[in-house]
């Protein structure tokens, strides 16, 4: 398939995990890319991987902090100056934050997680929607989480931010559908990326692999998801094929959200 020929896709969190896996899929199908992240080295690694599998791909890198509105405005302006349009926006950068009971959850930590996971997603939508409305076309995929549709525990900041992402998705979807723009959220379960490895280390310390086995024992499919499995979903949702899917939150979790 060549669903992204002549299309421009911006991906935040493009230096790692779900963002990188999705960038690779978009590149395979002819898309032009702007990858946004704080992590310069990771961005360069993503670019190298893309060039290996799809050497013709136009891929630009933008070092930016999604929690700073001026950075967001800058990477959107950069995309418009470089490519002149934005067809797909994978609004995906995020962190888990420290795990703790609510009473022990740090105030600063709560703010930090909200700043990145919620404010970052809002700033991204605010700037990209303006562009897409004018174009009369576009698709936004926000990364929420199973923690945005269910209670998981020990994740006050994460839960608040990801439930917030679901709310932002639904609110903007009803505003912008009339302009040909669709907005959806994905709710991944445990997908093996750097973020999940760090999360398991918080739970199990040096024995984090054992913590991982215990964690997936309650998943109906008894395994972690793979980044490329999320990438297949995200690329479909970013493509024109998914234009009528609007305001929807799609879980990709091996069925785990039905188990809680
Ligand atoms: P990851 O750590 O591999 O990738 C996240 C990327 O976001 C990193 O490259 C990081 O540098 C970047 N990032 C973090 N803060 C940033 C900021 N302020 N500005 C710009 N970039 C920033 O993790 P991942 O699993 O690929 O996570 C991607 C998204 O998926 C996150 O929003 C996460 O909450 C969500 N998610 C992941 C899982 C999972 O199991 N992996 C499950 C549910 C939701």
> How much is the average pLDDT of 245-250?
98
Active site residue 75: no
Residue of 14, 15, 18 with the most ligand 1 atoms within 8 Å of its CB, for mutation: 18
Whether the CB of 13 sits within 6 Å of ligand 1:
yes
Residue 53 maps to a domain: yes
Residue 238 maps to a domain: yes
Residue 41 maps to a domain: yes
Whether the CB of 65 sits within 6 Å of ligand 1:
yes
The tens digit of pLDDT for each residue in 169-225 reads 999 999 999 999 999 999 999 999 999 999 999 999 999 999 999 999 999 999 999
Whether the CB of 46 sits within 6 Å of ligand 1:
no
Task: Calculate how far, in angstroms, residue 159's C-alpha sits from the geometric centre of ligand 1.
Answer: 14
Residues 47 and 23 sit within 8 Å (Cβ to Cβ):
no
The tens digit of pLDDT for each residue in 23-42 reads 999 999 999 999 999 999 99
Residue 221 maps to a domain: no
Residue 213 maps to a domain: no
The pTM of the full predicted model, rounded to 2 decimals, is 0.98
Torsion of CA 200, 206, 210, 214, to 10 degrees: -40
Distances (CA, A) of 119 to 30, 98, 122, 148, 230: 31, 18, 5, 15, 23
Residue 171 maps to a domain: yes
| Atom of ligand 1 at shortest range from CA of 117 | 32
Domain at 60, CATH number: 3.40.50.720
Residue 77 maps to a domain: yes
Residue 36 maps to a domain: yes
The tens digit of pLDDT for each residue in 65-99 reads 999 999 999 999 999 999 999 999 999 999 999 99
250: domain range? 8-189+230-258
ipTM: 0.99
Domain count, the chain: 1
Query: Ligand 1, atom 23: nearest CA belongs to which residue?
Result: 195
């Amino acid at each position: 398939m060549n669903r992204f020929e002549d299309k421009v896709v911006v991906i935040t969190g493009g230096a790692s995990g779900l963002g990188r896996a999705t960038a690779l899929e978009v590149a395979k199908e002819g898309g032009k890319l702007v990858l946004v992240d704080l992590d310069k080295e990771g961005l360069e690694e993503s670019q190298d991987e893309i060039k290996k599998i799809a050497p013709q791909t136009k891929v630009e890198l933008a070092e930016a902090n999604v929690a700073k509105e001026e950075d967001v405005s800058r990477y959107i302006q950069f995309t418009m100056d470089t490519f002149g349009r934005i067809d797909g926006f994978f609004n995906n950068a995020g962190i888990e934050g420290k795990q703790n009971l609510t009473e022990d959850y740090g105030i600063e930590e709560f703010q930090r997680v909200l700043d990145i996971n919620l404010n970052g997603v809002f700033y991204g939508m605010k700037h990209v929607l303006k562009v897409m409305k004018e174009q009369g076309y576009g698709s936004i995929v926000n990364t929420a989480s199973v923690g945005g549709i269910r209670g998981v525990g020990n994740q006050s900041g994460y839960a608040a931010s990801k439930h917030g992402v679901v709310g932002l998705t639904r609110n903007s979807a009803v505003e912008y559908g009339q302009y040909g723009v669709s907005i959806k959220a994905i709710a991944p379960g445990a997908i093996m990326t750097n973020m999940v490895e760090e999360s398991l280390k918080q739970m199990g310390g040096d024995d984090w692999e054992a913590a991982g086995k215990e964690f997936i024992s309650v998943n109906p499919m008894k395994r972690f998801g793979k980044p490329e499995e999320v990438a297949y979903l995200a690329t479909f949702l970013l493509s024109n094929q998914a234009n009528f899917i609007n305001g929807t939150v799609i879980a990709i979790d091996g069925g785990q959200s039905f188990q809680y």
